[in-house]
Amino acid sequence: MSNRLQHLAIIMDGNGRWAQLKNKPRTFGHVKGARVAKKMITHASDLGIKYLTLYAFSTENWLRPQDEVGFLMRLLERYLIKETENLIQKNIRFTIIGDLNRLPTGVQKQVQNSIEKTSKCTGLQVCFAISYGSRQEITRAIQKIADLVHAGKISANEITEDLVKKNLMTGDIPDPDLILRTSGESRLSNFLMWQAAYSELVFSKVLWPDFTTQDFDDCCKDFYSRNRRFGKIDAELSF
Ligand code: FPP
């Protein structure tokens, strides 16, 4: 059974607490968090990981104070303006999941621009989950499938797990092998809930702005020590 780390997904948590511990505004933590994201993208690419999904902004994050939301949006836009050429140099393809329409127009344009410019890159595929929520994603998939049934294109008993998967925002990309969350919290927070069915989960106590490539490697080591059975039993135990 496969223990290859092909798809890693990260809940980058703890920016606010990190800043508060330093008596700085929360936004200071987000700036450091973005630098760490950049470092981890490069590291994942160097390690030959094929897919890296980063939870950058959830549907619930819209409920944060407006100035923090605005700051995160500008940070994202600036990050993409600055980094797109680097991504191309490293053969990294940029994609997103989430409700792009809710983002400010400038951010939407930059996101589209980075997606297009990196679309031919064949190395790591880095996917930012922005304005993303798993419940919203599953609800939309149900709506799209219901439309197909309503239009008489398929019948209800032709709805398969594969059809549901294809209608999720992650489309054809493989499910995450490992979901990592930093900052000591142990929950998924509406992230990739369908896709996480057989993901290994690792919870690191390190706050995201302090997360290092060594921490990254330790989490990968933890993953490789796991015995993934996907609900089956080991071949040598099957008597
Ligand atoms: C969680 O920390 C982090 C977020 C809500 C946003 C994640 C954003 C970044 C890492 C920076 C932007 C990234 C890029 C690549 C531009 P929190 O604010 O929930 O921290 P807390 O739980 O300590 O309050």
Q: Is 61 a catalytic residue?
A: yes
User: End-to-end distance of the chain based on CA atoms, in angstroms?
Assistant: 17
Region 117-121 average pLDDT? 98
In a domain, 211, yes or no: yes
Give the model confidence (pLDDT) of 44-53 as tens digits: 999 999 999 9
Give the model confidence (pLDDT) of 138-156 as tens digits: 999 999 999 999 999 999 9
Cα(27)–Cα(30) distance, integer angstroms: 5
**Distance between Cα 148 and ligand 1 center (Å):** 37
Percent pLDDT > 90 in the chain is: 93
CB of 61 closer than 6 angstroms to any ligand 1 atom: yes
In a domain, 11, yes or no: yes
Give the model confidence (pLDDT) of 182-206 as tens digits: 999 999 999 999 999 999 999 999 9
In a domain, 55, yes or no: yes
CB of 181 closer than 6 angstroms to any ligand 1 atom: no
In a domain, 34, yes or no: yes
**Distance between Cα 165 and ligand 1 center (Å):** 27
Q: Write out the two tokens for 26.
A: 């929360």
Sign (positive or negative) of CA dihedral 20, 23, 28, 33: negative
CA distances from 161 to 157, 164, 165 (A): 11, 5, 6
In a domain, 127, yes or no: yes
- Given the CA of residue 78, which atom of ligand 1 is nearest to it? 16
Longest C-alpha distance within the chain, in Å? 61
In a domain, 151, yes or no: no
In a domain, 106, yes or no: yes
Structural domain boundaries enclosing 228: 7-133+174-237
Q: Provide the CATH number for the domain around residue 180.
A: 3.40.1180.10
Cβ-in-10-Å burial (0-12, 13-18, 19+) of 82 comes to: exposed
Residue spans of alpha helices (H) in the chain: 15-21, 26-46, 66-89, 105-117, 134-150, 161-166, 213-224
pLDDT band at 239 (very low <50, low <70, confident <90, very high): low
Cβ atoms of 29 and 36 closer than 8 Å: no
Cα(131)–Cα(139) distance, integer angstroms: 15
pTM value is: 0.95
Q: What is the mean pLDDT of the chain?
A: 96
Asked if the model's pLDDT at residue 59 lies above 60, the reply is yes
What is the count of structural domains for the chain? 1
Q: How crowded is residue 76: how many other Cβ atoms within 10 Å of its Cβ?
A: 21
- Mutate-to-test residue for ligand 1 from 11, 12, 42, highest number of ligand atoms within 8 A of CB: 12
In a domain, 60, yes or no: yes
Give the residue, by CA position, lying nearest to ligand 1 atom 15.
34
Give the residue, by CA position, lying nearest to ligand 1 atom 16.
76
